[in-house]
């Protein structure tokens, strides 16, 4: 059965979903975490969902709204929900990563997440933040501007949300558990998806050919697409055949508009684009999400997810117009897109780039191997930052920090690589890493510069890195090794793009800046779930400032216990 279009009319959103108000309102949601059978690629399996939906329900709010989400766990495994990209100012207890800011919600338990949308507008996402549950437990967050505040770009006639993800025929927990047992990489997904559909007009599975997502548009109208990459392990190119896309926002921050025919979007990132339904002859056009990987050693799902853009005056049997896909390893396409991203930096939305810098840090990002007698080759693939493979605690780090519990973590994470080497070369002969639950402590309101440098110890690879609780400015990016003398003069300190997730390029580096003005414990990790599982993660402790407006409040009474 063909999926109906998921267009959200702006007027309906404004008047029905978000009643008129002169100030922020309180929005109530209930997320029932439950299992449901889904059939994709001619195969049926039970998956964990929110409210029985895949992808899950969209959370709507306005800038300034207070949001309360009661999460009830009806499945036989632990769960948490992370509100990816929401700043969580003074609400670190509600950020969601398991054993970082909270203990999991146990089977049969519940927890009410309570946070306020402050200084943000655009598209974000929510997802499970424990094990590999976010493969199917995810959805979009739509933050509309405050009432009376227009978009800083031409208002669209209609909007639509497209959630990109992956689908495994097997249970994803079994996939990663088998990989950990063998010490090798996990099997790649069986398909990419668009709004939960692994089919589409060019699907290999016969029954899936009629099950793809269809977006119906009207001639002459302008549409806003809210794109979300909820995939576990895949950077994706996105295209709409026959139509140019104008990028206007990424990660809930406005950018200088620019036109392109190909979007690059990594796991954890969101992108808003405008397009005009300007094909005079109408018809049907192929929508694609295809993988991007410029690392020859990395296995990826090379299948392309497809959907259909169909003009309302065209028959569903009309011929389908396709467009050439970018090559899977097209670094040129990826770099061209990233180079075009610039903060809007207007009077209403200035780019407040931190300068000068109080803390200058450098973290190497990459893979390694540790000894494992039971593994296939006597070793296990691991990952780390500054050669530290993160060990997950059994007590939530934020609780340990707030109540000064000893023995849970240390705050001696190295601010620079322990040993300098040719980072993007073959690296040292010893590929082993150190293990530890090591955090880096920052004083309140410190301005931080962090260089993230890919390594070639096992092989160079892209790493989409996400920082919780903060946005950051991407002031620099390059290939090869970061040069402390030659690289900084090339930084963009005027209008760099502001994000919460940014990919470290394969065999390259990025430099980001942020203000540590949010007290708590904040996770930094690769948003490739396989790399996070292998230990490519750490956390910052941001100390309290002066007074209650700069200090972490006590935990909520219903916070789950470990």
C-alpha span between 167 and 230 (Å, rounded): 11
C-alpha span between 257 and 263 (Å, rounded): 13
Q: Is the dihedral of CA 318, 319, 320, 321 positive or negative?
A: negative
Phi first, then psi, for residue 465 (nearest 5°) are -100, 130
* Beta carbons within 8 Å of 407's beta carbon, 6+ residues apart: none
Strands 26-40 and 66-73: parallel
C-alpha span between 229 and 225 (Å, rounded): 13
* Beta carbons within 8 Å of 499's beta carbon, 6+ residues apart: 250, 251, 253, 269, 471, 472, 474
C-alpha span between 262 and 335 (Å, rounded): 11
Closest CA to 78 of 128, 118, 117: 128
Within 10 A of 37 (CB to CB), how many other CB atoms are there? Answer: 9
Query: pLDDT (tens digit, 0 to 9) for every residue of the chain, 562 residues total?
Result: 444 444 444 333 433 444 434 468 999 999 999 999 999 988 999 999 999 999 999 999 999 999 999 999 999 999 999 999 999 999 999 999 999 999 999 999 999 999 999 999 999 999 999 999 999 999 999 999 999 999 999 999 999 999 999 999 999 999 999 999 999 999 999 999 999 998 666 566 755 545 689 999 999 999 999 999 999 999 999 999 999 999 999 999 999 999 999 999 999 999 999 999 999 888 999 999 999 999 877 889 989 999 999 999 898 888 999 999 999 999 999 999 999 999 999 999 999 999 999 999 999 999 999 999 999 999 999 999 999 999 999 999 999 999 999 999 999 999 999 999 999 997 788 899 999 999 999 999 999 999 999 999 999 999 999 999 999 999 999 999 999 999 999 999 999 999 999 999 999 999 999 999 999 999 999 999 999 999 999 999 999 999 999 999 999 999 999 9
Q: Are 438 and 422 in contact (CB under 8 A)?
A: no
C-alpha span between 217 and 243 (Å, rounded): 12
- The single-letter DSSP state of residue 102 is B
C-alpha span between 44 and 531 (Å, rounded): 28
> Is the peptide bond preceding residue 125 cis, with omega within 30 degrees of 0?
no
**3-state DSSP helix/strand/coil percent for the chain, to nearest 5?**
10, 40, 50
Q: How far lies 455's CA from each of 153, 332, 368, 509, in Å?
A: 40, 21, 10, 9
- The single-letter DSSP state of residue 79 is B
CA angle 304, 307, 312 (to 5 degrees): 160
Q: How far lies 60's CA from each of 65, 89, 250, 272, 274, in Å?
A: 10, 19, 17, 15, 20
Residue found by looking up tokens 């853009």 in the block: 309
DSSP letter for each residue of 107-137: TT-EEEEEEE--S--EEEEEEE-STTGGGTS
Q: Are 545 and 445 in contact (CB under 8 A)?
A: yes
């Amino acid at each position: 059965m063909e999926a109906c279009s998921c267009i959200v009319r702006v007027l309906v959103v404004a008047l029905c979903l978000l009643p008129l108000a002169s100030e922020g309102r309180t929005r109530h949601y209930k997320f029932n975490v439950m299992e449901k059978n889904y059939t994709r690629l001619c195969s049926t399996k039970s998956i964990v969902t929110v409210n029985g939906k895949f992808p899950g329900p969209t959370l709507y709010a306005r800038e300034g709204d207070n949001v309360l989400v009661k999460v009830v766990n009806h499945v036989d495994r632990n769960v948490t929900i992370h509100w990816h990209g929401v700043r969580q100012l003074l609400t670190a207890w509600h950020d969601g990563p398991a054993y970082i800011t909270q203990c999991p919600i146990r089977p049969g338990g519940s927890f009410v997440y309570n946070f306020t949308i402050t200084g943000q507008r655009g598209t974000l996402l929510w997802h499970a933040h424990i094990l590999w549950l976010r493969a199917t437990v995810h959805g979009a967050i739509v933050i509309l501007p405050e009432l009376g505040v227009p978009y800083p770009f031409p208002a669209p006639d209609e909007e639509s949300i497209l959630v990109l993800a992956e689908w495994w025929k097997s249970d994803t927990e079994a996939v990663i558990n088998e990989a950990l047992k063998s010490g090798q990489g996990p099997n790649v997904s069986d398909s990419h998806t668009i709004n939960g559909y692994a089919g589409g007009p060019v699907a290999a599975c016969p029954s899936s050919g009629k099950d793809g997502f269809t977006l119906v548009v009207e001639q002459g109208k302008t549409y806003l697409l809210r794109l979300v990459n909820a995939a576990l392990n895949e950077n994706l190119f996105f295209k709409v055949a026959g139509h140019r896309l104008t990028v206007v926002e990424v990660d809930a921050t406005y950018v200088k508009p620019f036109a392109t025919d190909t979007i690059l979007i990594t796991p954890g990132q969101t992108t808003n684009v405008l397009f005009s339904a300007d094909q005079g002859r109408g018809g049907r056009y192929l929508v694609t999400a295809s993988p991007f990987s410029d690392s020859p050693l990395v296995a990826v799902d090379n299948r392309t997810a497809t959907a259909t853009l169909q003009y309302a005056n065209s028959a569903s049997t009309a011929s389908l117009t396709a467009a050439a896909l970018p090559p899977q390893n097209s670094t040129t396409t990826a770099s061209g897109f990233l180079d075009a991203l610039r903060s809007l930096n207007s009077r209403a939305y200035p780019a407040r780039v931190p300068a000068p810098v109080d803390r200058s840090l450098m973290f190497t990002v990459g893979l390694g191997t540790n000894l494992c007698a039971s593994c296939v080759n006597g070793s296990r693939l691991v990952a780390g930052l500054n050669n530290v493979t993160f060990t997950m605690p059994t007590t939530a780090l934020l609780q340990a920090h707030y109540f000064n519990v000893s023995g849970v973590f240390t705050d001696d994470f190295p601010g620079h690589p322990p040993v300098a080497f040719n980072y993007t070369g073959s690296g040292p002969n010893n590929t082993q890493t150190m293990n530890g639950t090591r955090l880096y402590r920052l004083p309140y309101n410190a301005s931080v510069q962090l260089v993230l440098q890919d390594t070639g110890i096992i092989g160079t690879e892209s790493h989409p890195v996400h920082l919780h609780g903060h946005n950051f400015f991407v002031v620099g990016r390059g290939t090869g090794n970061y040069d402390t003398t030659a690289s900084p003069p090339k930084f963009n300190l005027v209008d760099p793009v502001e994000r919460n997730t940014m990919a470290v390029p394969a065999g390259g580096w990025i430099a980001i800046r942020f203000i540590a003005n949010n007290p708590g414990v904040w996770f930094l990790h690769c948003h490739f779930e396989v790399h996070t599982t292998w230990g490519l993660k750490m956390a910052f402790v941001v100390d309290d400032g002066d007074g209650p407006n700069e200090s972490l409040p006590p935990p909520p009474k219903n916070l789950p216990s470990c």
